Amino acid sequence: MNAQDQKFMQAAIQLSAEHMRAGHGGPFGAIITRGDEIIATGWNQVTSSNDPTAHAEVTAIRNAGAKLKNFQLNGCVLYTSCEPCPMCLGAAYWSRVDRLVYAATRQDAAAIGFDDEELYQELVLPIDKRKLPMQQILHADAAAVMGEWKTLPNKIHY
Amino acid sequence: MNAQDQKFMQAAIQLSAEHMRAGHGGPFGAIITRGDEIIATGWNQVTSSNDPTAHAEVTAIRNAGAKLKNFQLNGCVLYTSCEPCPMCLGAAYWSRVDRLVYAATRQDAAAIGFDDEELYQELVLPIDKRKLPMQQILHADAAAVMGEWKTLPNKIHY
């Protein structure tokens, strides 16, 4: 563990404690850095902002994109006080951060009543075995629009 | 396929086409309904809003939470023009929608250059086998904060 990682993770954990105690949401904090600079911070604010997606990591990634005016965070590191749930891990991949550092685990989250571990189990199940009922309709109609994407001359890939 | 599902999915696909053609982002649209009412809509706006998390489903879920002033969308249905990526599927679970209806598949997305399928493969790998480097530090410090969550008298679970 290098000193910089330790410093930034301590800051992420501090955010998790402060905002949990302030009633903003669950005990989770995150920080995005580039070099020795903190680019953005985030904490869980699901219940205080009525946003099911407002986990610490998603919030930090959104804030970092706004700050850098860029939808890709290459060169950045994501520090999060707890191993990301599948939503947040997906967000980390899409954001293109270079590296992710975490502290507590999905099992720690499960032990205090959060579904992270269960979500990891759900996502690998065949669609018809999941708890969330999923149904496919109108495949051809949507596939036609997606095919049009390939033909657009000025599209921005992400 | 019932008529209501068909109508709402056609609307989601229409959003995907309109906003793709307008240059707002990738070819993806989503709608959240309750009964016969459209509660919220969303479309991909990753590149136009500099937000790597602004997929159609995440955007629709955020908009629905704001509209209903609730962080849980029980009783709602999520229609999405393409099978959700792991980030969006995670968001759907956290939102507690009753049901999810999709049209195109993750393979359709892969065929036009999106990483959804690859992401599903990454998430099931052991942490040290993933493309995104992940490292754990300061476990005990974060676990201590999470333990404090259990003792808070007025916490709101989600």
Cβ <8 Å between A136 and B83:
yes
Question: Contact A37/B22 with Cβ under 8 angstroms?
Answer: no
> Between A20 and A116, where is the model more confident?
A20
Query: Does A107 contact chain B (CB < 8 Å)?
Result: no
Nearest to B62 among A51, A85, A105 (CB): A51
What does the pLDDT average to over B90-114?
96
pLDDT in tens, A82-130: 999 999 999 999 999 999 999 999 999 999 999 888 999 999 999 999 9
Residue B138 has pLDDT above 90, yes or no: yes
Residue B154 has pLDDT above 90, yes or no: no
- Chain A residues close to B123, C-beta within 8 Å: 86, 89-90, 120, 123-124
DSSP assigned state of B14: H
Chain B residue with minimum CA distance to A127: B83
Residue A150 burial (CB count, 10 A): 11
Residues ≥6 apart with Cβ < 8 Å to A153 = none
**In a 3-state reduction of DSSP, which class is residue B66?**
helix
**In a 3-state reduction of DSSP, which class is residue A23?**
coil
Tokens of B53: 């998390």
pLDDT in tens, A109-118: 999 999 888 9
Q: Which residues pair with A32 in a beta bridge?
A: A40, A78
- Which band of pLDDT confidence, cut at 50, 70 and 90, is reported for residue B97? very high
| Closest CA–CA distance from residue A37 to any residue of chain B (Å) | 19
Residue type, A135: Q
Cβ <8 Å between B104 and A133:
no
Tokens of A94: 């899409």
Question: Contact A145/B81 with Cβ under 8 angstroms?
Answer: yes
pLDDT in tens, B40-65: 999 999 999 999 999 999 999 999 99
Residue B83 burial (CB count, 10 A): 24
Its ipTM equals: 0.97
pTM strictly above 0.80: yes
* CA-CA-CA-CA torsion sign (A137, A140, A141, A147): positive
Chain B residue with minimum CA distance to A3: B137
Question: Contact A81/A30 with Cβ under 8 angstroms?
Answer: yes
pLDDT in tens, A37-60: 999 999 999 999 999 999 999 999
Residues of chain B above pLDDT 90, percent:
96
Residues of chain B above pLDDT 70, percent:
100
| Closest CA–CA distance from residue B34 to any residue of chain A (Å) | 16
Q: Which residues of A have a catalytic role annotated?
A: 57
Chain B residue with minimum CA distance to A67: B50
Residues ≥6 apart with Cβ < 8 Å to A151 = none
Distance (Å, rounded) from C-alpha A76 to C-alpha B93?
A: 28
CA proximity to A117, closest of A157, A84, A77: A84
What does the pLDDT average to over B68-79?
98
Q: Is A19 exposed, middle or buried (0-12, 13-18, 19+ CB in 10 A)?
A: buried
Size of interface A-B (CB pairs under 8 A): 295
Question: What pLDDT was estimated at residue A115?
Answer: 85
Cβ <8 Å between B142 and A13:
yes
Q: Which residues pair with A82 in a beta bridge?
A: A104
Question: What pLDDT was estimated at residue B115?
Answer: 85
Residue type, A7: K
